[in-house]
């Protein structure tokens, strides 16, 4: 039986600054919460960018259809 690899969520000390291990719990929790919120904003921005790209493609496709309809005499 193979041992299961535990997937631990990234914590602030793992990602950027291992020195936070020496900070008080209150400061650590504030930094961790800020880091989590920044990640959420980053994902939200990436999602919005993807939706904007999809909208632009849809607009271009619509213009192409309209041009073909005009060329066909509609």
Quote the pTM value: 0.56
> How do residues 12-47 score in pLDDT, each as one tens digit?
555 556 566 677 888 888 888 898 899 999 999 999
Q: Does the structure show a pLDDT above 60 at 4?
A: no
The CA-based dihedral angle spanning residues 47, 49, 50, 55, taken in that order and rounded to the nearest 10 degrees: 130
Answer for the pair 28, 20: CB distance below 8 angstroms, yes or no: yes
CA-to-CA dists, residue 26 to 14, 23, 31, 33, 66, angstroms: 18, 8, 9, 11, 60
> How do residues 52-70 score in pLDDT, each as one tens digit?
999 999 999 999 999 999 9
């Amino acid at each position: 039986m193979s041992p299961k690899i535990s997937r631990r969520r990234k914590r602030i000390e793992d990602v950027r600054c291992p020195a936070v291990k020496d900070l008080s719990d209150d400061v650590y929790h504030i930094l961790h919460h800020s880091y989590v919120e920044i990640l959420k904003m980053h994902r939200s921005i990436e999602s919005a960018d993807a939706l904007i790209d999809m909208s632009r493609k849809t607009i271009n496709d619509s213009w192409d259809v309209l041009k073909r309809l005009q060329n066909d005499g509609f």
